[in-house]
A = this chain, B = another copy of it.
């Protein structure tokens, strides 16, 4: 049997590879910065604040991942946390002055890289790409939800199940 597993014919491989190229292209332009804070920059660039959990959801990363990113950003004086007056567990996260400056630069770099990556694309091709990626994300998200079905929490019999 012919076992030429052509990576170039695997949607997963291709997508992942392109994703890595995007990150590196951005980071080359950030001069000392990295790509992790970008979603935070984008979420807070307008001067607003959000909780850690909200940021994690916004960026589609898990909470510990966002916690790490925010810790690095705090270390680098890009964000500050102020206690949430309505929930003592939570803090509201906002950009510092430096953070807003970096956010501006990061946004510009992101636009540059997006434009560069899509160089030669017709507007229709761009739209098709986005639509196809969204469909992939929807399909894979559905699979994740399905796998996450919590083996029927049998802890205690209940008269009714939420769902």
Contacts and interface: CB of A to CB of B under 8 A. Distances in A.
Contacts of A126: 11
A97 B133 CA distance: 37
Given A120-B139, A125-B132, A139-B119, A22 B12 contact: yes
A14 interface: yes
Contact of A114 (B8, B12, B23, B45): B12
Contacts of A118: 11, 136, 139
Copies of the polypeptide in the assembly: 2
Interface stretch (A69-77, A82-90, A140-148, A152-160): A140-148
B8 A144 contact: no
Contact of A21 (B114, B120, B129, B137): B137
A151 interface: no
Interface residues of A, number: 59
A137 B17 contact: yes
Given A12-B117, A114-B12, A17 B125 contact: no
Which 9 pairs, one residue from A and one from B, show the smallest C-beta to C-beta distance? Answer: A19-B19, A5-B42, A12-B22, A21-B140, A16-B19, A3-B46, A14-B133, A15-B19, A129-B132
13 contacts: A8-B134, A9-B130, A12-B110, A14-B134, A16-B22, A17-B137, A19-B19, A20-B60, A21-B140, A24-B140, A28-B143, A28-B147, A120-B139
